[in-house]
Chains A and B, each alone.
Chain A
Amino acid sequence: MEKTILLAKSNFRKNRGTSIGLFFLMLMAAMLVGVSLLIFLDAYPTAAKEAKRLDAGDGYLWIGEELQGIDDEFIEDLLGADTERYEAGRCLGYSNVSLPFGNGNVVPGLVVYDSRAFETKMNRTEIITEDTSITEGYIYLPYQFFTSGGYDLGDVYTFELLGKKYSFDVRGFINTTYFGCNNAGNYEFVIDDESYEKLYERDGDTAETIIVSFDLKEDVNPGSFRIRVGNDVLSRNPGAIALAALLPDTLSSKTFLSLILAASFLTMTIIIVVVIVLMLSNSIANYIRENMKTIGALKAIGYTGRVIIGSLFALFVFMACVGSLVGAGLSYTLMPVMVKIIVGQMGVPYTVSFNPVCSIIPVIFVVAFTFFVTFLAAGKIRKIHPIVALREGVENHNFRRNHIRLDRSVLGLNISLALKSLFTNMKQNTITFFVTGLLMFVCVVALLMYENFSRNPKLGILTFEICGGVVAFDYETKEDALKYLEDREDASNIRRMIQLNINYNNEDRLVTYIFDDVSKMNNKEVCYKGRLPEYDNEIAVSGTFAKQYGYDIGDEVRFDYGEKNSSYLITGLVQTCNNFGKEAVMSEKAAEQLIDFEYIPGYFWFDCDDAKTSQKILDEATEKYGDHVVSAMNFFDTLEGNMTTFKDISTLMLVLLCSISAVVIMLILYLLIKAFIYNKRRDYGIYKAIGYTSGSLVLQTALSFMPSIVLAAVVFAFGSYYAANPYMSMIMRSFGLMKCNFDIPVPGVVMIAIGLVLIAFAFALVQSSKVRKIEAYRMLICE
């Protein structure tokens, strides 16, 4: 054992630089694997764990608008048979409330409670942080307002409910399962009892809402239950609305946006880890090759192959253990950045804590891989004869082709010599080519996400329809309001569109966008296959729905709404990342077979130039029609609010992945050039002896690595440009996006390619400059 440790120490001393390079590769691999595992195994389950802790049950039922006839007895009849337990409570509920959030507004549903919110047994609301010195006129906001909404304790939060502005001091932030995340569609506010009383007096008649949390019996199908209770409430009171949401759907809503980004991060991490392990195996094999002469000398003096291999194992496995432990540790320092994004999206409190599984797996992964590669590479040592090892493994002459003949080359001397080196180091250059290429791809995907989620949000994919604003009027004024909007010069393409849930076979529901004229839709790209519906027997359903139930274009499918049902011809498939990919689009004429539109409010979507114009239209419409305006949404502001966390995450990912790529490429060049100089030290001695300057040798060395890097940058820039969208489609298919057509800015791709090449060249020059330190005489006598 002492012999083994002695040899291992000697190996480390002799190859300190390479060992340190390998150490950092191992560290990075462990760190990235650690971060990915922490995201998926520790951070994401938090939403589910918290839901369980807060006893959220299996779902909730929102009954609002008109509550006549809906009493405790009715609720017992409605839920008693299918549920293990339930808990009903009353509050004030509002749909489509424009709430300031981040740099804009969000438009979720809103439930407002008083202090009774903290007294429920099921589906508890919990205070995360509060300032008890604030004793009146206060509000508790969902935690998401703190993590990504830009609010803190003591801030004043102002918002508008049914045309009246309210301002509250923020007393605290709450953790609530169903009403804490914008993506889940609803928020919960808890205000002081006195303010609640006043609000109830004002809005109680129209906004009183019953929220029922429930736990289903085991044999109850959640989808059928949801449809049944909706229909039963409508039967009892056609003026009421009843929306049932299930916990898995809510959890999925809370996490899916970050999950898309985290899945992309994970996939890109896997690519980087593949690059790292490729380099690791190459470096270990190279390390052994470099030390072949020492191995020969040790064998010659009587060391067995086992002891020599043991020393290599001791060194590499020790390095892998330390590197991966440090890497796994460092993953906890990188996590807070990721946590900020995840928590910002989920609206659930989460702090990084030690997770044994996420810490041990990266260590096992790196150590096992190192062990395996060392085993394969070192296996040769046992078979090698001492004299062959002393000749540095050369058993036969290597008859090469002369690719660049200096007497015929039209290129300059330095470039010709660099190209010669390129051909004689084909393996290293092939590695560099693929490594640079894969990193290029990673950066282009990160650029795609930045461009489409941050710089110029790709609205066609993120939302079903794009507009300047939406204003809804009650059924009494909707015809007049339409004329008013059409007469305005600053609003164009006025179309009526309403969103309703239609049911499929009593087991699933589709969120359906119903247009007075489908051809007025701005976002026609939403239909990725076939065409949008035109006639009254047509519908376009989402690809996710079609795939799940085995439908395709040309098939007929029956849908129900309340008591009515009708069959439709599928004309096209649409894609969406909202509502779990379960959406559809049809015309009003087609929907009339299911729904009577007479008493349904008119939701008018309009286009306009900017946020200011949109706000002007909304304000003037509200001023003119007063209480007849059911809701108003400035699309620009809403988008800004919704995109706040997206912007952060995609910008961060671009910076993070480009930085990691730059570090990886530098590490790889460090190891390759170091090995290159070591292997070519005799040639450098010859060049220096015959009069080559250090500068020209540095340039030649750096240049010899550039063709593969430049070629990879060019080829993979093109390749990534065309492959990034299919790659994103592959990742996002499970979220409902079947065919991505994200924008990829060509200048950005070019900048990344140039950036990678420049970084690589600059670092290659720095690393190659080590040639300067060695004198010709020393290089020659090193033999």
Chain B
Amino acid sequence: MNTLIKTNKLCKTFSNGGTMQHVLKNIDMEIYKGDFTIIMGASGAGKSTLLYALSGMDKPSLGEIYFTALDEKGDEKLTNITKMTTDELAFFRRKNCGFVFQQVYLVDSMSLLDNLMVAGLLTNKNKKEVAQRAKEILKSVDIEESLWNKFPTQISGGEAQRVGIARALISSPRLIFADEPTGALNSKTGKDVLDALTAFNEGGQSIVMVTHDITSARRGNRVLYVKDGEIAGECNLGKYVHGDKERHQKLSDFLTGMGW
């Protein structure tokens, strides 16, 4: 089964002072295993709303979302997550989803290592194994050992975001949802974060990333463009190759065509 997520007439409506605002309109889409899917769109187009709906963080107003989740035996099973209760969604997320946020959202009162442990221990009760994996992942995102027991307020924004990625990976989720992960970073630290995500994708990790930054979007192999609450277009870029100018041009043309 290559499809990770499939939506059916996905809608999201907000009530704003009695006025109904349709942010997502009858979206039918699929996310594929192993892809680095980019969701782009103008501000207010509904891309973050779509991301959080797909991950089960926010409930859609109408429609269904099917997720190829792993059951208790570890077998793949297509599951309608829109019918899950809040607690079922929490269990679903801990096994299947990892999150990388623009504002990082590490727990300030915990050390970097504990920020990973607190997520990892949800799926694996063996503290030694979780600690071992946390240290490996921290190393893989270039966080020095001397920083592991520091607190989030004691490190730079780029380091914090890489720790955020590490936390997203600690439970080996089926899919990572990244919401503008470089939005609050400068170009150098942003590049480090994207390199880390690219490296994990190359290792087989599925990623869905929302961005409005064309440089970040180039890292994906598939770009979905959201406009007025609908998927207005899709562009397949193929495998990421650093410095591929043709890829850059293809994406620019696609975005221009979408009215970017």
Interface residues of A (CB under 8 A from B): 397-400, 402, 405-409, 413, 417, 420-421, 424, 682-683, 685-695, 772, 775-777, 780, 783
Interface residues of B (CB under 8 A from A): 52, 57-59, 86-87, 90-95, 97, 99, 101, 103, 105-111, 113-114, 117-119, 121-123, 125, 127, 130-131, 134, 149, 151, 153-154, 167, 171
Which one of A417, A421, A686 has the greatest number of beta carbons of chain B within 10 Å? A686
> Complex: how many Å from CA A689 to CA B92?
11
Chain B nearest CB from A676 CB (Å) reads 12
Chain A nearest CB from B102 CB (Å) reads 10
> Complex: how many Å from CA A777 to CA B94?
15
* B90 x A694 contact (CB < 8 A): yes
Q: Which residues on the B side are within 8 Å of A783 (C-beta)? A: 103
Chain A nearest CB from B109 CB (Å) reads 4
Chain A nearest CB from B167 CB (Å) reads 7
Query: Which of A397, A400, A685, A694 is close to B109, meaning CB atoms less than 8 Å apart?
Result: A400
Query: Which of B58, B108, B117, B153 is close to A775, meaning CB atoms less than 8 Å apart?
Result: B58
Q: Which residues on the A side are within 8 Å of B149 (C-beta)? A: 402, 405
Asked whether A776 and B114 contact (CB < 8 A) given A690-B99, A694-B90, the answer is: no
* A420 x B86 contact (CB < 8 A): no
* A405 x B58 contact (CB < 8 A): no
* B57 x A777 contact (CB < 8 A): yes
Q: Which residues on the A side are within 8 Å of B59 (C-beta)? A: 775
> Complex: how many Å from CA A524 to CA B136?
76
10 additional contacts (CB under 8 A) given A402-B111, A690-B167, A780-B105 = A402-B149, A405-B113, A405-B149, A406-B110, A406-B118, A420-B110, A689-B93, A691-B92, A694-B90, A775-B57
Chain B nearest CB from A776 CB (Å) reads 5
Chain B nearest CB from A390 CB (Å) reads 15
Interchain residue pairs with CB less than 8 A apart (13): A397-B154, A399-B153, A400-B109, A406-B114, A407-B130, A420-B114, A690-B93, A691-B97, A691-B171, A692-B94, A772-B86, A775-B59, A777-B58
Asked whether A399 and B154 contact (CB < 8 A) given A405-B113, A689-B57, A691-B122, the answer is: yes
* A397 x B153 contact (CB < 8 A): yes
Chain A nearest CB from B70 CB (Å) reads 14
* A682 x B91 contact (CB < 8 A): no
> Complex: how many Å from CA A424 to CA B153?
15
Query: Which of B93, B97, B117, B154 is close to A407, meaning CB atoms less than 8 Å apart?
Result: B117
Query: Which of B97, B105, B109, B127 is close to A406, meaning CB atoms less than 8 Å apart?
Result: B127
Q: Which residues on the B side are within 8 Å of A686 (C-beta)? A: 105-107
Query: Which of A408, A685, A693 is close to B105, meaning CB atoms less than 8 Å apart?
Result: A685
Pairs of residues from A and B, 8 with the lowest C-beta to C-beta distance, nearest first: A691-B94, A406-B117, A407-B131, A777-B58, A397-B153, A424-B109, A693-B90, A691-B93
Chain A nearest CB from B86 CB (Å) reads 6
Which one of B95, B103, B110 has the greatest number of beta carbons of chain A within 10 Å? B110
Residue of B nearest to A690 (CB): B119
> Complex: how many Å from CA A685 to CA B103?
12
Chain B nearest CB from A545 CB (Å) reads 63
> Complex: how many Å from CA A693 to CA B131?
22
* A407 x B153 contact (CB < 8 A): no
Chain A nearest CB from B163 CB (Å) reads 12
Chain A nearest CB from B10 CB (Å) reads 15
Query: Which of A399, A408, A694 is close to B87, meaning CB atoms less than 8 Å apart?
Result: A694
Q: Which residues on the A side are within 8 Å of B154 (C-beta)? A: 397, 399
> Complex: how many Å from CA A402 to CA B95?
27
* B109 x A692 contact (CB < 8 A): no
> Complex: how many Å from CA A685 to CA B52?
13
Residue of B nearest to A425 (CB): B109
Chain A nearest CB from B36 CB (Å) reads 21
> Complex: how many Å from CA A621 to CA B222?
112
* B121 x A413 contact (CB < 8 A): yes
* A689 x B99 contact (CB < 8 A): yes
Q: Which residues on the B side are within 8 Å of A694 (C-beta)? A: 86-87, 90
Asked whether A407 and B134 contact (CB < 8 A) given A683-B109, A690-B99, the answer is: yes
* B87 x A409 contact (CB < 8 A): no
> Complex: how many Å from CA A689 to CA B100?
10
Asked whether A691 and B105 contact (CB < 8 A) given A407-B117, A420-B110, the answer is: no
* A417 x B103 contact (CB < 8 A): no
Query: Which of A399, A682, A695 is close to B151, meaning CB atoms less than 8 Å apart?
Result: A399
Chain B nearest CB from A682 CB (Å) reads 7
Residue of A nearest to B128 (CB): A407
Chain A nearest CB from B69 CB (Å) reads 13
> Complex: how many Å from CA A397 to CA B92?
35
> Complex: how many Å from CA A783 to CA B105?
10
Q: Which residues on the B side are within 8 Å of A689 (C-beta)? A: 57, 93, 99, 101, 105
Q: Which residues on the B side are within 8 Å of A424 (C-beta)? A: 109
> Complex: how many Å from CA A772 to CA B90?
12
> Complex: how many Å from CA A420 to CA B113?
14
Chain B nearest CB from A288 CB (Å) reads 21
Residue of B nearest to A407 (CB): B131
Q: Which residues on the B side are within 8 Å of A695 (C-beta)? A: 87
> Complex: how many Å from CA A420 to CA B99?
23
Chain B nearest CB from A58 CB (Å) reads 71
> Complex: how many Å from CA A409 to CA B123?
17
Q: Which residues on the B side are within 8 Å of A402 (C-beta)? A: 110-111, 114, 149, 151
* B127 x A407 contact (CB < 8 A): yes
* A405 x B114 contact (CB < 8 A): yes
Which one of B86, B90, B103, B127 has the greatest number of beta carbons of chain A within 10 Å? B90
Residue of B nearest to A683 (CB): B107
* A692 x B111 contact (CB < 8 A): no
Chain A nearest CB from B82 CB (Å) reads 14
* A691 x B90 contact (CB < 8 A): yes
> Complex: how many Å from CA A739 to CA B150?
56
> Complex: how many Å from CA A402 to CA B150?
9
* A420 x B90 contact (CB < 8 A): no
Chain B nearest CB from A690 CB (Å) reads 4
Chain A nearest CB from B11 CB (Å) reads 16
> Complex: how many Å from CA A691 to CA B87?
9
> Complex: how many Å from CA A690 to CA B94?
6
* A406 x B121 contact (CB < 8 A): yes
> Complex: how many Å from CA A408 to CA B135?
13
> Complex: how many Å from CA A331 to CA B100?
56
* A780 x B87 contact (CB < 8 A): no
Q: Which residues on the A side are within 8 Å of B52 (C-beta)? A: 777
> Complex: how many Å from CA A424 to CA B151?
13
Q: Which residues on the A side are within 8 Å of B110 (C-beta)? A: 402, 406, 420
> Complex: how many Å from CA A544 to CA B132?
73
* B122 x A398 contact (CB < 8 A): no
Q: Which residues on the A side are within 8 Å of B101 (C-beta)? A: 689, 780
> Complex: how many Å from CA A222 to CA B167?
87
* A692 x B151 contact (CB < 8 A): no
Residue of A nearest to B92 (CB): A691
Q: Which residues on the B side are within 8 Å of A421 (C-beta)? A: 109
Chain A nearest CB from B146 CB (Å) reads 14
Q: Which residues on the A side are within 8 Å of B106 (C-beta)? A: 686
Residue of B nearest to A689 (CB): B99
Q: Which residues on the A side are within 8 Å of B91 (C-beta)? A: 691, 693
Asked whether A682 and B105 contact (CB < 8 A) given A690-B167, A693-B90, A776-B57, the answer is: yes
> Complex: how many Å from CA A612 to CA B230?
94
Q: Which residues on the A side are within 8 Å of B121 (C-beta)? A: 406, 413
> Complex: how many Å from CA A687 to CA B107?
9
> Complex: how many Å from CA A772 to CA B87?
10
Query: Which of A398, A682, A776 is close to B153, meaning CB atoms less than 8 Å apart?
Result: A398
Residue of B nearest to A691 (CB): B94
Chain A nearest CB from B110 CB (Å) reads 7
Chain B nearest CB from A441 CB (Å) reads 32
Q: Which residues on the B side are within 8 Å of A685 (C-beta)? A: 105
Q: Which residues on the B side are within 8 Å of A409 (C-beta)? A: 127
> Complex: how many Å from CA A560 to CA B58?
93
Residue of A nearest to B179 (CB): A780
> Complex: how many Å from CA A251 to CA B92?
76
Which one of A407, A409, A694 has the greatest number of beta carbons of chain B within 10 Å? A407
Residue of A nearest to B177 (CB): A689
Q: Which residues on the A side are within 8 Å of B123 (C-beta)? A: 691
